[in-house]
Amino acid sequence: MVGAARPNTIVLLSMGYDSLSTWHQLGRPAAVYFDVGSQYSAPEIDRYQKLRISFPQLIPVQDMRWLGEQEQDDRWVPLRNLVMTVRAAALGYDDIVMSAPADWAPDKRLTFTLATSLALRVAQPGVNYRVRRPFSHWTKAKLIAATPPKLLEDYAYSCYEGTEPPCGRCAACGRATIAHLAAGREPPTALRSGLGFRELMDLRRGSANGSRLSETVRMRPGELLYVPLRGWELLRAWEAYRRR
């Protein structure tokens, strides 16, 4: 079973749909939120602190704003996941879980989890460190469908603009909308009626920023065709939209 947690499991929570769902699928083990001081940190921290009240296994927010200062124009922070992984290990956890069903970042790929697992084991012999992405073969829609709606409604936040409520126009909001439709769930932000198929699909690119371009640039050639949602899920989203 992919979902098994160990006694020393910790989930790196970003408070997005993927990581919250990953945490839930694993039986809600310990988790941590790293504050890199981004534009959307405040609403994420707000939700993480609320979640901590009900789940004391969540450890305090870790201040990583010093690293966030390296944020690039496309909002990518070099080495973020490496620093977070090592820090989680240094805090005493040996099973470090990342969520990455749709990730284009080089520091979330399989080679990254294998290399960091090895580096940690070399650095501290005798500890069976494991860095993993147990649901990397699941799509965002599948993760959402497998998670109680209330958990996501109350605690998930995924918007590049950092507005409260989420803007509904950026690529993160657009992907959440399509994934919710594909999962048979009500989208988290208002959705215009009268869109055509292409217009609905284009929500994934967002109208409020250029994240799509930068994501494409960071992909390797073999990954250009990679989609976070499968074709049949996009069709299911379209059918759900038309029925509204």
What residues make contact with Zn ion under the rule CB under 5 A? 159, 161, 166-167, 170, 173
Long-range contacts of 214-217 (CB under 8 A, 24+ apart): 214/73, 214/74, 214/75, 214/76, 215/74, 215/104, 217/74
Residue closer to Zn ion (CB basis): 30 or 170: 170
Report the nearest approach of Zn ion to the CB of residue 161 (Å).
5
Of 141 and 167, which has the nearer Cβ to Zn ion? Answer: 167
Residue 31 C-alpha from the chain's centroid: 13
Q: How far is the CB of 158 from Zn ion (least distance, A)?
A: 8
Q: What's the number of CA atoms in the CB half-sphere (13 Å) around residue 6?
A: 15
Residue placing its CB nearer to Zn ion in the complex, 27 or 165: 165
Burial class from Cβ neighbours inside 10 Å (0-12, 13-18, 19+) for residue 198 reads exposed
Q: Which is nearer to Zn ion, 29 or 168 (CB)?
A: 168
Nearest approach in angstroms of CB 189 to Zn ion is 7
Q: Please, what is the minimum distance in Å from the beta carbon of residue 176 to Zn ion?
A: 8
